[in-house]
Chains A and B, each alone.
Chain A
Amino acid sequence: DGGITQSPKYLFRKEGQNVTLSCEQNLNHDAMYWYRQDPGQGLRLIYYSQIVNDFQKGDIAEGYSVSREKKESFPLTVTSAQKNPTAFYLCATSPRDSRGEQYFGPGTRLTVT
C-alpha cells in the first residue's frame, strides 16, 4: 500500500508542551515538505528537505524543528516557542524528476489549549 502517512489524525496538547508530528512515505521520493494551513488560507511552507540529513527553512520556520535521518521519514516538532500552533499540518513529497509534482498526506489537526 503506497503513499504518505501522517499520524495521528488529531492531536491535542497543552500550551508549553513540545509535540512531534509524524510523516512517513514509501514512494521513494527524495524531497519532503511540511506545510501549515489555517482556516480560509492557503498553505504556508514550514520546512523542506531535498535529501537525507539536509533541510531548509521555509517561510514560517520559527518555533518549529525537523530532522531527516531516513529517506522515508520527516518528523516535525512544534515547540513551545511557536506562538499560534493550532492549525492543520500537511506533509508532502516529490520525486527527483523534472516535473517535481508534489503529493500530499492526509494531514494532522493540532489543537493547543
Chain B
Amino acid sequence: KQEVTQIPAALSVPEGENLVLNCSFTDSAIYNLQWFRQDPGKGLTSLLLIQSSQREQTSGRLNASLDKSSGRSTLYIAASQPGDSATYLCAVRRGVKTSGSRLTFGEGTQLTVNP
C-alpha cells in the first residue's frame, strides 16, 4: 500500500528565505506526482505536476523535483513571501494510464512566512 510522508509538518521562516519542502513515498511505481497548495478553509490549488519520466518542473518561484527510484520529491520555493503562507500537500498517482486513477496524499506541510 502506497504511503506518502511530508516533512516537516510545520515550518516558519522569515520573508525572503529560500526553502525546501519534502515528500517521500513508499512505492516507486508511480505515474506522476502533484504538489498542491491549500489556504485555510479552502479547496486545493494545483501548483505543479511531474510525470514519472521527468526530473523537475518549474513555475515562477516554485521548482519541484522528483527522484522516483529513491521515492522522494522536493518543492523549492525561492524568495518566500507572506502570501506563500499555506499548507502544501503532495500526492502520488498510481502507475496506470487512465482517467480516474487514484491519488494518495501526504498530510501536508504548514508553511508560515513572517514579514
Interface of A toward B, CB cutoff 8 Å: 4, 6, 30-31, 40-45, 48-50, 56, 58, 88, 90, 92, 94-107, 109
Q: Which of B32, B34, B43, B91 meets A90, CB within 8 Å?
A: B43
Interface residues on B, range: 20 to 34
**Interface class of chain B by DSSP:** strand
The distance in angstroms between the C-alpha atoms of A88 and B38, with both chains bound, is 13
Question: What residues on A are CB-neighbors of B46 within 8 Å?
Answer: 101-104
Question: What residues on B are CB-neighbors of A6 within 8 Å?
Answer: 43
Known: A49-B100, A99-B51, A102-B103. A107 touches B32 (CB 8 A): no
Contact yes or no, B43 A42, CB < 8 A: no
Q: How many A-B residue pairs have CB under 8 A?
A: 70
Contact yes or no, B100 A45, CB < 8 A: no
Within 8 A of A (CB), among B8-23: none
Q: Which of A42, A88, A95 meets B89, CB within 8 Å?
A: A42
Interface of B toward A, CB cutoff 8 Å: 4, 31-32, 34, 36, 41-46, 49, 51, 89, 91, 93, 97-103, 105-108
Contact yes or no, B41 A48, CB < 8 A: no
Question: What residues on B are CB-neighbors of A42 within 8 Å?
Answer: 4, 89, 105-108
Complex: chain B residue closest to A107, CB-CB = B43
Question: What residues on A are CB-neighbors of B98 within 8 Å?
Answer: 50, 100
Known: A99-B49, A102-B46. A41 touches B107 (CB 8 A): yes
